[in-house]
Amino acid sequence: MSVKWKRELDQEVPDDDWLPPRKIPTQNLLCRLIQRETYPAKQNVNSALISRKLHQNAVPRFTIMAVDKPSVFLKKFSPDGKYLFAFSSDQMSIQIFKYLGPQGGASLIYNIPGEFTYDPSVSHQAFEKYFKLVHNVVVIGDAVEQLNRECSVFTDDGKFLIVASSAYPTTEPQATQLYLSNESLTANPQAPYEDYAFHLIDIERGKVCDRLQFRVDRILLTHNYGIYLFNRTLAILSLQHQTIHVYEVTPEGTFVKRHEIGRFCFPDDEELVSAVSLVQDDSGAPYPAYTEACITSVKHRLLTLLYRKCEGDPKQIKEFCQLFGAIQQLKMVKMQLLDEDHLLIKFTKEKALHNRSQDASGPSMFAVYRISTAEVLNVYKNTSEELLALVDHFCEYFRNLPQGCSPSNNVHSKLLQQRFKQTILHARFGGQQEMVKRLLSQLPVSCQSFSASPYLDLALFSYDDKWVSMFERPKASGEYPIKFYNRDSGLLRYKMHTGLQNAPTGPRLTGKRLAAFTFHPRDPFVISVQRANGDYIVNFHVPNDNHHAG
């Protein structure tokens, strides 16, 4: 640009017409406390957001590296944040630790400069400063059975914890055990049958209150795929028998069965079917249920709704008849409770149950089922833009996370999702239909798989979701600390060190590195876990009021 042209441009555009620089909001804690007290007098101000903004002033800026922990697998905090539970190393018991607060280890790190420490004396004492063992709950007494570390859910009030265990059958199952209906899955050596048990644990008393047992079955326990807990309503999907069992968790600590959705939808359905069909052969022996020719109740309701959608249109009725056999062969693969009375059920081909890679691209459909009236209210294909629009606008209801940020209530989260959509649209073999399939393949959403921590709220902090996100799954671990910026000011607020690259001694991480994060639901306290040479390395990310740059 020439000097003359620049001079003319400056003369044409007065300085007053340029946008003034944005004013950084106050970051002072005292000012924010006053603002929180006076927010009712202001218009169009979200009171919850103002209260959560205080978390920008108390952050987990300091990292205690390689914490010496008991021989357990740390899992998650209770919803109220009072307890942390862990699986024992033999996966036969649950250990419940009382959380002592983010200030528990303040005396250890008071005079330590910098952003992290490898001091062995600090690492050795850190765990007992922040946690205290209150209960060791022996859940399993048989060495054949083991708890599944990837399956655990809390009731909303934090009173009860539900965990699952499994074991291979000790005897060869009979055909009448394997096939309880004509919808039961065929035997597959890649997915052996197991005996499952679900244990209800009272956290305050530290005891097992009740158990549910499912013999010779297939239930997906990893990441809570096969179960869903909404308030006090528990739904369990039996893949093998294509049945959804619905229970209520009572305040006294018991499981009470409410519904069984599959072969029948109401308790008296079996009597109705028996009245019009043969239930015994000539010798008086009952016919096996898997030899029935009639369609199961839940599949009948699905097909009925699809036919009613086509009624009056000969072309659609013809298409329905052509696809009738394919639809009848679809199986329930996953479900979630939208509320206590509505289920979102995903149907797909049986082959997709054994090959997870086909799940996103293969044909499937979603059904909204009302439990109380046994009705299928609506059906969507996995290419339905209508369903995608519902997920975009009411995302927090699918995640069952009313306090967290989502694309439907946060502009920054929505921007990330839009970027993801654009990536698929412009990718090789991408396009609009492929984008819809990819996004809907995330449904139904697994139970309690998102964190409600304010330190992951995109309205408060800006961070790279490649390294950490609200979705509680292990993430790739980089060589550099994860940086968190204040959303309103753009200033660097704190860093989280997760790697051991700069450790003076100890294990070295080789190959692909993954880190799992456990955020406290409210406090500035984070646990990160990495696996190094077969061992789990635990770091604590805590506040440090006397933090000084080293």
pTM metric for this prediction: 0.87
| Nearest Cα residue to 94 out of 227, 219, 203 | 203
Name the pLDDT band for 49 (thresholds 50, 70, 90).
Answer: low
Residue for token pair 């690259």: 501
C-alpha torsion angle, residues 311, 314, 320, 323 (rounded to 10):
180
> Which residues is 195 bridged to in the sheet?
167
List, for residues 227-248, the tens digit of each pLDDT value.
Answer: 999 999 999 999 999 999 999 9
Helices 385-393 and 432-440 meet at what angle, rounded to 10? 50
pLDDT greater than 50 at residue 107: yes
pLDDT of residue 164: 94
Q: Average pLDDT, whole number, for the chain? A: 84
User: How would you label 201-234 residue by residue, b for 16+ Cβ within 10 Å and e otherwise?
Assistant: bbbeeeebbbebebebbbbbbeebbbbbbbebbb
Instruction: Count the Cβ atoms, other than its own, within 10 Å of residue 53.
Output: 22
Tokens of 378: 């609506």
Name the pLDDT band for 546 (thresholds 50, 70, 90).
Answer: low
Lowest mean pLDDT among 389-398, 419-428, 506-515: 506-515
List, for residues 502-526, the tens digit of each pLDDT value.
Answer: 555 555 555 677 888 999 999 999 9
| Contact call for residues 82 and 76 (beta carbons, < 8 A) | no
Name the pLDDT band for 252 (thresholds 50, 70, 90).
Answer: very high
> Which residues is 76 bridged to in the sheet?
85
Distance CA 58, CA 523 (A): 9
Cα 454 to Cα 48, 164, 309, 470: the distances in Å are: 11, 29, 44, 10
Q: Which amino acid is at 263?
A: R
Cα 245 to Cα 219, 248, 255, 257, 430: the distances in Å are: 11, 10, 11, 8, 38
